[in-house]
Structure 1
Amino acid sequence: MMKNEGPSMFISSLTQITCFAIGSLANFPAVRSFAIFAAVSLTFLFIFQITAVVGILSLDYKRYIKSRFDIFCCVQKKIINDDEPLHSEIPYESVTQKLMEPYANFLLKWRVKVFVVIIFLLFLCVCVVLIPQIEVGLDQNLALPEDSYVYKYLNAVNNLLPLGPPVFFVLKSGLNFSNPEHQNVICGGQLCNDDSLTMQIFLAVQQEEITYMRRISNSWLDDFFDWASTPNVCCKYNTTDGGFCPSISSEPECDYCTIARSVYANGLRPAEDAFDRYIPFFLQDAPSNTCNKGGLASYYSNLNYVLDSEGRATVHDSNFMAYHSSLKTSHDYISAVKYAYEISENITAAIQSRTGLDVEVFAYSVFYVYFSQYLTVWYDTFISLLYCLIGAFVINLIATGFNILTTLAMMFTVVMVVVDMMGIMYIWNIQLNAVSCTNLIVAIGITVEYCTHLAYAYNTSQKPPSERVEDAIIKVGATIITGITFTNIPIIVLAFSYTQLIEIFFFRMLFSIVVLGFLHGFIFFPVLLSYINNLKYKI
């Protein structure tokens, strides 16, 4: 048994292990983890098959030779008539083995081969057209049963909330906020630049259907200008120690500040020294009826600043908040992330152009960490698949004795299965994400397993060249059906799962992969081998 099946088992296992090992280089953390576990598990599975399984089968064969029962192996059958031996000299053939010869004869007729090639290539072209239309993402509702209270809660949130999550545009350190020129690249009031940070966020909100941004919060810098511009209203200090007093304080030691005005902007802004002196006061002052611009409630945690020995503040990092519109689908979330990043890049470019400083602005919201991966999902998916295909090609090229034509035929079949699977993803409403990318890598492994046994039987066949493909089908066709296809049929039970995530990504995808692998490995690949065989020996 191992003499006939061992080499193809070794090639198939080594190819799949290599595919998954290379797949561990993927950028998707989920794909990387799965690939590592799959490679390790397949390694142990192969070791188990060539050691323990072979040993168990050899013991079972000895039991069979000695005419012992299956379960009660200590009990030996009695031979009633020596003229009718228990062991027939004719090898046992299953139903699938008996069907292989007529199947091979039928499949390799020239009319059937032409029909097979046309149908498979036609479907391949259709799937190529459908691939760009695959939706990217993973809807959070798919992970929940439809009768779950969390599922109902998420639907209520999507349908009722007018606003989405807040988004923060974080401005890294590097600007001197007391410098009027640096203030102009941030603020949104008089004399501020048209492409300032606040103005760009405001303009993005005006295009809500594109940017998925609905409302902008106030700017701490503009509110500080307003807070400091009105004398004898907001700013108070302690006359005894020069410290801060709330604007609503009526303590006798608290008095109104005298804030020096900047000659810039006709005195609408505080002078540079006054800015550094009173920005901590602004951030400690709570809004009130008399002074509603106090920054304690809105901005206290939005700024990082350092006080020197004289109590003057140097502002380093800060953020400016806006709100996304109501986000319902994965497409909405991904688009929101995409345009927020685009806006932050434009703001960064404007600030660097105006100031000549290497200052960066980046966008952040609570869901970005989950959805930012989908901005490069197509590239990451194709790179992962390419790595796996290269690994499978190299292993099979070496295993076939550098038979380039057979290896290329196998790789073409594998690529066809992956492309067809992606076409079915669109037809069956399966989104492209880390889970489906993992399943596409599995598709490579399963298709290689279908093709490897047939390719090895073809390369080692002792028949004349014109009969090698037929001989390969007869030898390993039954093994392909019973050993690979039938063992994966139980996937069907996943169709009845209460969780849509299981039903979509594990039933629909894995069942489709098994069907496509069987059709391509058992119908298209033998036909392709026959054409290559004819081409090879005619030349």
Structure 2
Amino acid sequence: MKTYKSKWFNVKYRAERSIEDEIERESKSDIKTVVISYMIMFFYIAIALGRVRNLKNILIDMKVSLGIAGVILVALSVWASIGIFSYMRIPTTLIIFEVIPFLVLAVGVDNIFILTQSIQRDRRLINEDVESQIGRIVGRVGPAMLLTSVSESIAFFLGALTPMPAVRLFSLYAGMSVLIDFLLQITIFISLITLDQKRTIQNRFDIFYCIKISNKNNHEHNRWKWFKKNSKNNNINSLETTTPITIEENKIDDDNTHEIDGFLYRIFKYNYAPFIMNDYIRPLVIFIFFTWLATSIALIPYVKIGLEQNITMAKDSYMIEYFSALKQYLAVGPPVYFIIKPGINYANITASNMICSSAGCSSQSIANQLGIASLYPAETRISQIGTTWLDDYYDWLRHRGSTPCCRLYENTREFCSTNSVSHKNCHVCTRSTTRENITQEEFQEYLPFFLKDNPNIKCAKGGHAAHGSSVNLYRNQSIETSLIMGYHSLLISSNDFIDAMQQAYSLTSNITNTLKNSGYDIEVFPYSIFYVFYEQYLTIWHDAFMNLAISATAIFIVTFILLGLDIISAFIITLTIAMITCDMIGMMYLWNIELNAISLVNLVMSVGISLEFCAHICRDFLLSSHRSRLKRAEHALAYMGSSVFSGITLTKIGGIVVLGFSHSQLFHIFYFRMFICIVSFGAAHGLIFLPVLLSYIGPSPNRIRMSRSESIQLQKEISLTVTS
């Protein structure tokens, strides 16, 4: 059809699989864009993990190999998830390949940055080997990794309870991928970090491990000088070294440790955190974010549902011309079939009067109600109703004229069609001229002949062409089910299709109730070819809120348990995630993003990524030894906020921006716009709102940790007194 041309007319065409084929073609056309997006994120991870002290040590301090290893583990977790569910014969979808790598990369990279930067900020104790140091650090940050990974996995697995297939499959694959990624990170990646730390201590180049430079500028030597500088006596004995060093190891926020602390951490500690925790800024932050939340909640009812077909098409697709011609020229919509389920005796004249539309039929019959609905196409979305097979069948049976329609051969009792060459020995099926006089035996015996009789000039009522597929018969020739065909009005947008389907369901529900009130316990339901695609939208709001509520509840329960039964922290984390989700839905209205399976998957994913922005900072707030909420929130924002910012926000922003240059409208709307909102809203709530909220209503400090901190401080004072 692409090459067909005529000077008389133009042909616009489509097939039943056209939309699916064009979506697949469009997705393949943007593979380069997606690859570039992920390459930018991988490149940033490989570069940003390192902390370069000077140009001379750049090949030692960079951690390209560690970053590549972390990314490989993320990829392995996704492929392992696909392999497991493929073995279980659970299918995959295109959304899984497009969204899950983004999700797992966000979760995995966050853990990678937190682990790596915690080691970089740590001071290895004298006589402490690398393995012990790594074990001590994992003991400090590992529980937070466990918290986020387990919470997300359980939330996703519970999200698989939704009846929507796309969301259910995504939840299964996402939960398994996050869980496997955590297991790989807590085992393989920690081993790789240990080896990388030994490489750094030995002054070996990254990637080229066999190359080693002079040891005189060793970072460990600089650390040793730091210990000597902070000691009162260069003649270090066990009392003068062990206690102060143990204390200082726990004190990361010292002013003389810029060589250990990174540039971003210093910005967060000395500039950003004090600014956010200002007495005038904090109330303003609370006001802005809750106003934002209220506005988003008010916008939620106005979010459109559906997926416009032209959005899913490439700009050069033949379907664009088809949709344009459909809107411009077509005056009728797709056919709709009203199916009558088993339970009624069509041969009974009283029962048949509740179906037909000719003279003598009930005014409340199925055909008459459908006919009345077609008089108001703007409201009912029903343009016209065809003649029912039952009316045509009665006319066919009673047809007289020069040649009756229903005739039988005298000897064989076989059907004698008006299309036959010979009409000898043919006689009329029935002498009845009214519907009431046709017996039930005659009705059932001659019905198969009607359904196979081709219409012609002599008998236009032959039912093969118009009604050959309208009746389904049992083996004994009685009727099992039947249908009445009609047409929807012209449908263009997703709202038109959804409204047409809703109106059809409402109409058949009223018809079913009318039949039951008349004593016929049968059901009538509608079907059109597009229903299978749009039926999900009838319950999508319910499915969305149920899925998000289940995920939030799971996160609340898991964080409550893993944070030591701290209900306040669990509530704060869940509240922040709920605010991010509401703000996401509100932005969908402002940015013209429709609610459908793709956007719902992104919303479910945003719950998991939002937890990464919140959980680490909240847990660090709990572990802080400061007495006031304000100082603890400031410490958590500086120490953990910088890792979250560099681990998720900066990693994702670069890759997401590339998606904005995609030629695909589908990618631009549902991936670029939604992904940029997920990251920016998560960062705003996790790095601005959450610390401020913790400074107001955060849980009280841990008494055991406070006692331990006071004991260490007292021990330090005694040590300083002895050394002086």
TM-score range, shorter chain: over 0.9
2:682 is equivalent to residue 517 of structure 1? yes
Structure 1 residues 281, 82: CA separation in 2 closer, same or farther (over 3 Å shift)?
closer
User: Residues of 1 paired with 2:637 and 2:473: CA distance?
Assistant: 76
2:432 corresponds to: 261
The one-letter amino acid paired with 1:219 is T
In the alignment, which of 97, 103, 106 is matched to residue 275 of structure 2?
106
Q: Secondary structure at the match of 2:472?
A: strand
2:646 is equivalent to residue 482 of structure 1? yes
Q: Secondary structure at the match of 2:336?
A: strand
2:166 corresponds to: 30
1:234 corresponds to: 405
1:95-128 deviation per Cα after TM superposition (whole angstroms, max 9, x unaligned): 2111122322111122111111111111111111
The one-letter amino acid paired with 1:385 is L
Deviation of 1:229 after TM superposition, in Å, equals 2.3
The one-letter amino acid paired with 2:682 is G
Correspondence 1:53-64 to 2 at 5 A: 53-64=189-200
1:74 corresponds to: 210
What TM-score comes out, normalization by structure 2 length?
A: 0.70
1:409 corresponds to: 572
1:227-273 deviation per Cα after TM superposition (whole angstroms, max 9, x unaligned): 222325322211221110112435143424152437xxx66763333
CA contact (8 A) 2:408 2:429 kept: no
2:598 is equivalent to residue 435 of structure 1? yes
Instruction: Give the unaligned 5+ runs of structure 1.
Output: none
1:211 corresponds to: 380
In the alignment, which of 413, 416, 424 is matched to residue 245 of structure 1?
416
1:456 corresponds to: 619
Identity %: 36
Q: Secondary structure at the match of 1:74?
A: coil
User: Residues of 1 paired with 2:152 and 2:680: CA distance?
Assistant: 18
Q: Secondary structure at the match of 2:539?
A: helix
CA contact (8 A) 1:240 1:253 kept: no
The one-letter amino acid paired with 1:352 is K
Deviation of 1:471 after TM superposition, in Å, equals 1.5
Structure 1 residues 254, 379: CA separation in 2 closer, same or farther (over 3 Å shift)?
farther
1:96 corresponds to: 264
Deviation of 1:480 after TM superposition, in Å, equals 1.1
CA contact (8 A) 1:228 1:269 kept: no
Q: Which sits farther off after the overlay, 243-252 or 202-211?
A: 243-252
CA contact (8 A) 2:404 2:428 kept: no
2:451 is equivalent to residue 276 of structure 1? no
In the alignment, which of 473, 482, 485 is matched to residue 637 of structure 2?
473
Correspondence 1:163-242 to 2 at 5 A: 163-231=332-400, 232-242=403-413
CA contact (8 A) 1:169 1:364 kept: yes
1:462-496 deviation per Cα after TM superposition (whole angstroms, max 9, x unaligned): 11124211121122121011011111111121111
Q: Secondary structure at the match of 2:478?
A: strand
Q: Secondary structure at the match of 1:137?
A: coil
User: Residues of 1 paired with 2:397 and 2:613: CA distance?
Assistant: 76
Deviation of 1:420 after TM superposition, in Å, equals 0.4
Deviation of 1:30 after TM superposition, in Å, equals 0.2
The one-letter amino acid paired with 2:152 is Q
Q: Secondary structure at the match of 1:162?
A: coil
User: Residues of 2 paired with 1:282 and 1:480: CA distance?
Assistant: 74
Correspondence 1:105-124 to 2 at 5 A: 105-124=274-293
Instruction: Give the unaligned 5+ runs of structure 2.
Output: 1-136, 227-256, 703-724
Structure 1 residues 269, 535: CA separation in 2 closer, same or farther (over 3 Å shift)?
farther
Please give the root-mean-square deviation of Cα atoms over the aligned residues, in Å: 2.2
2:151 corresponds to: 15
Deviation of 1:79 after TM superposition, in Å, equals 4.2
Structure 1 residues 60, 293: CA separation in 2 closer, same or farther (over 3 Å shift)?
same
CA contact (8 A) 1:260 1:271 kept: no
Structure 1 residues 534, 224: CA separation in 2 closer, same or farther (over 3 Å shift)?
closer
User: Residues of 2 paired with 1:158 and 1:246: CA distance?
Assistant: 43
Q: Secondary structure at the match of 2:334?
A: strand
CA contact (8 A) 1:495 1:507 kept: yes
What TM-score comes out, normalization by structure 1 length?
A: 0.93
Deviation of 1:146 after TM superposition, in Å, equals 1.2
User: Residues of 2 paired with 1:267 and 1:407: CA distance?
Assistant: 73
Q: Secondary structure at the match of 2:280?
A: helix
The one-letter amino acid paired with 1:238 is Y
CA contact (8 A) 1:260 1:274 kept: no
